[in-house]
Homo-oligomer: A and B are copies of this chain.
Amino acid sequence: MQESATRRRASTRERLLDAAREVLADTGIQGATVEQICERAGYTRGAFYSNYASKDDLILDLFMREKDRMLIALRSAVEDKLEGGDIGSIAHVLDRFVTSQPTDRTWFLVHQEFVTHAVRQHRIADVYAELWEQTHREFGDVIDAACQALGRRLTIDLRDATRLLIAIFDATLRDAFLGSDADEADLTAMREQIPTLLLALSEPAER
């Protein structure tokens, strides 16, 4: 059977992708060399070229894996938050949702590269577009549900509200890592702002 062979193959690919993620955060896509990636993964370049045709090939694979992982995490976070039924304050819902997102330096840098690369290359842009659309949908659902649970209705378009919150989230991460060399972003300020903002942008729902 080729099962075991391909399983081994899948395993080394995982290790290569994990290593690529780290190296990429350190030195950027262009700065990362195949050798660095292999070294960190515990392989030599032979293993690499046995699995990927080029660095670009691996990058694309990494992007797709990142996208899938993010969406899975996002979706499970949404389900955790929404299906509990026991929704507390609007602060709690969004707060726990937001803090369930990865906020570490490596993640930020990888996705920063992701965006930049996507703006330049159309092949990547397609992958990103799907991630983007799904993220919007899931995030929008949470906001929507939170408002309903609190008996409020947005005074602006749900889509705009979603974009707004995502924008705040991204800017907060960026500012955090620009301002300090901590490994985790400090989100306390944002966690206070978001509920305030949502209250300001909604009104009691007529019933």
The interface of chain A, by Cβ under 8 A from chain B, is 26-31, 105, 108-109, 112-113, 115-116, 118-120, 122, 125, 128-129, 132, 155-156, 160, 163-164, 166-168, 170-172, 174-175, 177-179, 181, 189, 193, 196-197, 200-201
Contact = CB atoms under 8 A, between A and B. Distances in A.
Contacts of A30: 27-31
Q: Is the interface of A mostly helix, strand, loop or mixed?
A: helix
B115 A113 contact: no
A59 to B, nearest CB: 13
Given A167-B171, A178-B128, A109 B118 contact: no
A178 B196 CA distance: 30
A28 B116 contact: yes
B109 A112 contact: no
Contacts of A196: 156
Contacts of A167: 167-168, 170-172
A148 to B, nearest CB: 20
Given A28-B116, A30-B31, A168 B178 contact: no
A78 to B, nearest CB: 21
Given A30-B30, A155-B200, A171 B166 contact: yes
Contact of A116 (B109, B119, B155, B201): B109
B119 A177 contact: yes
A137 B177 CA distance: 20
14 contacts: A27-B30, A28-B120, A29-B30, A112-B115, A113-B116, A119-B177, A125-B178, A129-B178, A160-B189, A164-B193, A167-B168, A170-B171, A171-B171, A197-B201
Contacts of A28: 28-30, 116, 120
